[in-house]
Structure 1
C-alpha cells in the first residue's frame, strides 16, 4: 500500500494511492495515519479495505507528511562512503546517530524555509524507514520485522549551524521545513529489498545526487538493531538513513541553496518530492 495524508497543514486527512494512481480518502475508516495504524494489525485491517469503494480526491491536493505525530525523528550521518570522503570526514566505524526535531517535518512539496541567518543551506536525498512495532534491543535478524514502510526524506541541512556553531548536529538539521517526508509511505511488503533503491536529487534541473541504498555502509537492518540498543523504538518513529555523495558542501568550491532554487528528489518505488527555497520572514 501507499499511504498518504492530504489537505491543509495541520488539518490533513488520511488517504491512500490506489493501483491506478488515484488518491482515495481513508477518513471514513481511520482518523489518521499514526502509531495504531502502522502496527501490523492496523496495516492488515487497511489491506482488507476495498480501495475502489473509497471517495476519490483531486490529484492537485496538497500532500502532507505521510505519518502523523512523529515523536522521534532519528537520523544517521555519513552512511555512504563517497559522502564521507567528499566532506573530508573519516568513514565511521559505528553509525553516526543524531536527531532532527519532529517540528521540522513538512509535506513533500512544501517550501523549504531558509533561515534569515543561513549562509550554508544544503540538500540531502535520503530513504527513511518508519517503525510499526515497539522494539528495544532488537537482534539484527529481526530488525526488518518492525518496519511499517519506507519513504523519501529530504534531510535539509544548514552546514554553518551544524558544523561551526559548537554543538550537536541537531542545530543544523531542525529548522521548520528541514524535514520534508513523502509523498507517501510505501508499506514494507511492497519493498522486498530496501538495499536496492536508487536515489536522486536535482537543483534547478541540474543533477546533484545519484546513488543507491546498495552502497550504504550500515544497511537498514543493522541500523534499526543498532539504534534499538540505545533507545526504545516506538510505532511512528522515523529513521532517515543517510545520503549519497553530491551535497553542496562537497562541491569545489562549495555551492549552497539560495532563495528561488527548486530542489527535486526521489527514490525508486517511493515517489518524488519538489520544493522551492523561500527566505523565511
Structure 2
C-alpha cells in the first residue's frame, strides 16, 4: 500500500497510489484532516480497508510530501563510514550522532523541482531514507524502536553547501532553503524489519549513478537513531527522521558537481520507491 498526499482541483487530499493513479480517501474521513492525523489515530489500516475495490479518482495531480505538516523533521548527518572518511580529518567514527533540524517548507513532493536560490549555486543532493514515527514516545529503547514506526519514504536532503559553512558548529542555514529538498513519492507502511535492515539507497543524477550503499552499513542504525533522539525530545506521530546519506554527494567530487537547472535527480530506496525531481532556478 502506498499512502500519499496530493494537490488536485485546488484541494489537498490524501489516499493511496495505484498504477493507474490516485484514490482519494480523505473525503471519507473528515475527522482526520491529513495523513499526520491519520497516523496519530492509528488509522492507516482503516484507510487501507476503505481503499479495497475503489476506483481511481484522479489521474492528473501534483504530489506533495506524504506527511505535509510534520511536527519535527530531524536529520542524521555523516552516518556512513565512507562519508566520515570523506572529511579527510583523520577522525574515527563518532561516539554520538550528528543531528540537525529541517523545516517542512524546505521540502517539495515527487515530480516537483528543487529550487536553486540566486544567493548561492552550490545546491547538492543527498539520497536518504525517511522514517515516519507512528507511535510517540520518550526514552524509547533501541530494541523497541521499530514498534514506533508507521512508515517509510524516500528523501533527497538537498543542501546549499556554502551555507553550511556560515558558522563554526551550525549547518541549519544550508539545510533549510525553501524547496531545496524533497520527500516522497509516498509512504509505505512499515511491517517488517527487513524493510529497513535489507534496504539499499541509490542516487542518480541525469542517469549517472552517484550514491549506492546499504542501510545496514550506517554507523548509527535506525533503532539507535530513534532511541537517541527520543532521549532528549518526545517523538510524536508524524515526526520524521531522515536517516543519513551515503558517500557520493556532488560536493565530494574534484571539482564539485553541484546541481544546475535541467538536472534530474532520482533517489531510490529498495522496497519503498523512487523519488524524482528536476532542478530549476528561483524566479
Q: Equivalents in 2 of 1:141, 1:264: separation in Å?
A: 32
Q: List structure 1 segments (4+ residues) > 6 angstroms apart after TM superposition.
A: none
Q: Is contact 2:21-2:56 (8 Å) kept?
A: no
The structure-2 alpha-carbon separation of the partners of 1:9 and 1:245, relative to structure 1 and needing over 3 Å to count, comes to: farther
Tell me the equivalent position of 1:162: 164
Q: Is contact 1:39-1:148 (8 Å) kept?
A: no
Which range moves more in the overlay, 249-258 or 67-76? 249-258
Tell me the equivalent position of 1:26: 25
The structure-2 alpha-carbon separation of the partners of 1:50 and 1:123, relative to structure 1 and needing over 3 Å to count, comes to: closer
Q: Is contact 1:143-1:221 (8 Å) kept?
A: yes
Which range moves more in the overlay, 104-113 or 153-162? 104-113
Which range moves more in the overlay, 122-131 or 61-70? 61-70
Q: Equivalents in 2 of 1:276, 1:169: separation in Å?
A: 24
Q: Equivalents in 2 of 1:10, 1:145: separation in Å?
A: 36
Tell me the equivalent position of 1:44: 45
SS of the residue 1:53 aligns to: coil
The structure-2 alpha-carbon separation of the partners of 1:95 and 1:237, relative to structure 1 and needing over 3 Å to count, comes to: same
Aligned pair count? 279
Q: Is contact 2:155-2:184 (8 Å) kept?
A: yes
Q: Is contact 1:65-1:183 (8 Å) kept?
A: yes
SS of the residue 2:28 aligns to: coil
Q: Equivalents in 2 of 1:216, 1:112: separation in Å?
A: 26
Matches within 5 A, 1:75-154: 75-88=75-88, 90=91, 91-154=93-156
Deviation at 1:35? 3.1
Q: Equivalents in 1 of 2:82, 2:11: separation in Å?
A: 40
The structure-2 alpha-carbon separation of the partners of 1:52 and 1:22, relative to structure 1 and needing over 3 Å to count, comes to: farther
The runs of 5 or more residues in structure 1 that have no matched partner are none
SS of the residue 1:175 aligns to: coil
Q: Equivalents in 2 of 1:97, 1:17: separation in Å?
A: 32
Match of 2:185 among 164, 183, 186: 183
1:56 maps to 2:57? yes
SS of the residue 2:4 aligns to: strand
Matches within 5 A, 1:186-265: 186-189=188-191, 192-265=194-267
TM-score (norm 1): 0.92
Which range moves more in the overlay, 253-262 or 185-194? 185-194
Which range moves more in the overlay, 128-137 or 43-52? 43-52
SS of the residue 1:36 aligns to: helix
SS of the residue 1:209 aligns to: strand
The structure-2 alpha-carbon separation of the partners of 1:193 and 1:264, relative to structure 1 and needing over 3 Å to count, comes to: closer
TM-score (norm 2): 0.91
CA RMSD, 1 decimal: 2.0
The structure-2 alpha-carbon separation of the partners of 1:9 and 1:132, relative to structure 1 and needing over 3 Å to count, comes to: farther
